Amino acid sequence: MQLSLWITLLLACLVISFTPGAGAINTMGNALNHGHRRAIWGILGQQAALVIHIAIVAAGVGLLVASSPIAFAIIRYAGAAYLVYLGIRQTLAKVEPDPADDAAETPAASRTESRWAMFRRGLWVNLLNPKAIVFFLAFLPQFVKPDLPQLPQYVIVAVTCVVVDIAVMWGFFAVAAQGFRRFTRTARGQRTLNRIFGALFIAVGVLLAVLH
């Protein structure tokens, strides 16, 4: 891939990653509930979904999803329902304030959810989004030349997208969530933040369901 084309890809990935969405909300919620370091597991799950989306498009399956209204609708409503479920669960989550000063990085909530659970939730948050497949279906061909070997080009695109998204999610959204950390030290603050992020998840799910 030419350097100029790769720089364009890099800039496009930055714009995409900085656009708030379900992944950003999930990352901020994880950072608040489990600490900045543990938030990486949810981010890695989201990247696994991103790689799967790219692989689907590269394999041509994305054309089937994009051209099949039934397949698109099934995945779209499943993704919307999952986000609404996450929102309801976040809203109703039990709070357990930890007054210890040294618990700021690893709050009490982190003891109730494994790294695998965080990874799995991040995976499904991004995977159950058919619009991502359609987006990559339109996005990837701009950076892949058909007259050159396909696999190396898709690998470059995938690695660039993943590295940029990890940097933005962990270095920006997870860090930004730390500004709300003081609210997690009281039961009232935790309930307020749970309701805010729960409402955001539900809103994204509803938008995913009603927007075409």
pLDDT attached to residue 128: 80
Cβ contact 129:10 at 8 Å:
no
pLDDT attached to residue 209: 73
Domain boundaries, the chain: 22-210
* Whether the predicted pLDDT of 193 surpasses 50: yes
What value does the mean pLDDT of the chain take?
77
How far apart CA 53 and CA 158 sit, in angstroms, is: 10
How far apart CA 151 and CA 168 sit, in angstroms, is: 26
Share of the chain above pLDDT 70, in %: 77
pLDDT band of 68, cuts 50, 70, 90: confident
pLDDT band of 97, cuts 50, 70, 90: low
pLDDT attached to residue 42: 93
How far apart CA 74 and CA 70 sit, in angstroms, is: 6
- Dump pLDDT digits (tens) for 161-175: 999 999 999 988 888
Find tokens 């309701």 and name the residue: 195
Find tokens 């209204």 and name the residue: 69
How far apart CA 50 and CA 109 sit, in angstroms, is: 27
pLDDT attached to residue 109: 45
* Whether the predicted pLDDT of 140 surpasses 80: no
How far apart CA 131 and CA 124 sit, in angstroms, is: 14
pLDDT attached to residue 165: 92
* Whether the predicted pLDDT of 199 surpasses 80: yes
pLDDT band of 141, cuts 50, 70, 90: confident
Cβ contact 49:119 at 8 Å:
no
- Dump pLDDT digits (tens) for 35-61: 888 899 999 999 999 999 888 888 876
Cβ contact 168:22 at 8 Å:
no
Q: For 72-99, what is the mean pLDDT? A: 72
* Whether the predicted pLDDT of 107 surpasses 50: no
